Structure 1
Amino acid sequence: MLEITGLVAGYDRTTVLHGVSLTVPEDGVATVLGHNGAGKSTLLRAAVGLIRPRSGTVILDGEDITRLPAHRRARRGIAYVPQGQQSFPQLTTMENLRLIADGRRDGRAALDEALDLFPALREVTTRPAGLLSGGQRQQLALARALMTRPRLLLLDEPTEGIQPSVVREIQTTILDLSGRGGLSVLLVEQHVGFALRAAQRYYVLEAGRITSSGPGTADAEAAVREALRV
């Protein structure tokens, strides 16, 4: 679904990514692990079009989208959930969801499906998003992204600052959706156990370079922890 080759990107005169290459399987999950400052978020921002790469290619389902702006990549089926459980804090949970639903022909159905995926949101539909817990805000951010019916979902550390029970719910949802077909996921994570349980393929990013990669199997955890030195 996604193939990134030789990606070099950064900010102003600072180069953050140095020739990164990876693939995301169709209807599967690939995960990128690394410490803070490794370049994980920059990688996602380059993939979604928020940063223009200095060199390298980004191929989505066989189409070169390297030079496309972010809004055109979104129209081709990429959804991005950045770090930090982002929402419109002054709006209620339902108002946040309706912002997406109202712009779609299938908005009502998409909204109902999102609430079915994250039933905890049904209990807080009238609560301002700014007053939700971290786990609820993350589920809201995921629900909003999934309502666009993406082919590729980019997730930036969805488990950060979230209680373990919600982490398990999010993991189950990701695996269920990718297992149905029609959705591929590029997951950026620091939690090795969660990432490897979710992914068919892993990549370790260190100082903007891929230093280790392989299939996301039970045997991979030792190799990943060694690569991360944890």
Structure 2
Amino acid sequence: MLELQDVHVGYGRTDVIHGVSLTVPKDGVAAVMGHNGAGKTTLLRAAVGLLKVRSGRVLLDGEDVTRLAPNQRVARGLAYVPQGQQSFGQLTTAENLQLVADGRARGTELIGEALDLFPALKGLLSRKAGLLSGGQRQQLAIARALITEPRMLILDEPTEGIQPSVVAEIEQTILDLTSRGGLSVLLVEQHVGFALGAASVYCVLASGRISSSGAGGAGAAVDVLSAMAI
């Protein structure tokens, strides 16, 4: 669903990503892991179009979108949930969801589907998003992204700073969504157990280069931890 081919990305004169190639399978999950500063978020921002690719290509469902603006990629079915449980803090949970649903033919239905995926939000619809816990804000951020009906969902550190019970809920939701078909996920994550539990393929970034890659699952944990220890 998403392919990065020999991608180079940087800031100013400094390259941060050096010739990275990865593929997100259709209806599957790919995880990118690595320490802080490895280039994970930079890679995602290039995939979304928030950073220009200096060389290489970005393909979305076979279409070259390397030169397309972020909104054009969104229109083609890409959704991005950045790091930090972002929401409009002064708006209620319901207003945050409605803001995305407005103008969509199935807006009300899509809100209902998102709330079915994250039932904890149903009792928080009148609460301002800024008063939610970190885990609740993360669920809200993912729910908002899903209302856009993406084919390709990109998540940056979805488990950062949230309680283990919510981590498990988010992992199960990702697996449920991809098992239905029609959605692929690119996941950047430092929580190795979560990443490998959700992903069918993975890669480890170190200094902007892939140091290890392979099939996901618990059996890959030793290889991933060894790569991250280098």
User: Which TM bucket (shorter chain)?
Assistant: over 0.9
**2:29 aligned partner, one-letter code:** V
Cα distance between partner residues in 2 of 1:217 and 1:113: 28
User: TM-score, with normalisation over the residues of structure 1?
Assistant: 0.99
Quote the offset at 1:15 in angstroms.
1.1
* 1:166 corresponding residue in structure 2: 166
Cα distance between partner residues in 2 of 1:149 and 1:125: 21
Cα distance between partner residues in 2 of 1:190 and 1:218: 15
Secondary structure at the counterpart of residue 202 of structure 1: strand
Percentage of matched positions with identical amino acids: 69
Cα distance between partner residues in 2 of 1:145 and 1:165: 21
Cα distance between partner residues in 1 of 2:123 and 2:35: 35
- Equivalent residues in 2 for 1:1-230 (5 A)? 1-229=1-229
Secondary structure at the counterpart of residue 23 of structure 1: strand
Cα distance between partner residues in 2 of 1:211 and 1:168: 27
> Which sections of structure 2, spanning at least 5 residues, go unmatched?
none
**1:57 aligned partner, one-letter code:** R
Aligned length: 230
Quote the offset at 1:217 in angstroms.
2.7
Q: CA RMSD in A?
A: 0.8
Provide runs of 4+ in structure 1 moved above 2 Å.
Answer: none
Contact 2:88 2:96 in 1 (8 A): yes
Cα distance between partner residues in 1 of 2:37 and 2:181: 33
Secondary structure at the counterpart of residue 219 of structure 1: helix
Cα distance between partner residues in 2 of 1:122 and 1:13: 48
Quote the offset at 1:31 in angstroms.
0.2
User: TM-score, with normalisation over the residues of structure 2?
Assistant: 0.99
Comparing 169-178 and 9-18, the one that deviates more: 9-18
> Which sections of structure 1, spanning at least 5 residues, go unmatched?
none
**2:101 aligned partner, one-letter code:** A
**1:62 aligned partner, one-letter code:** G
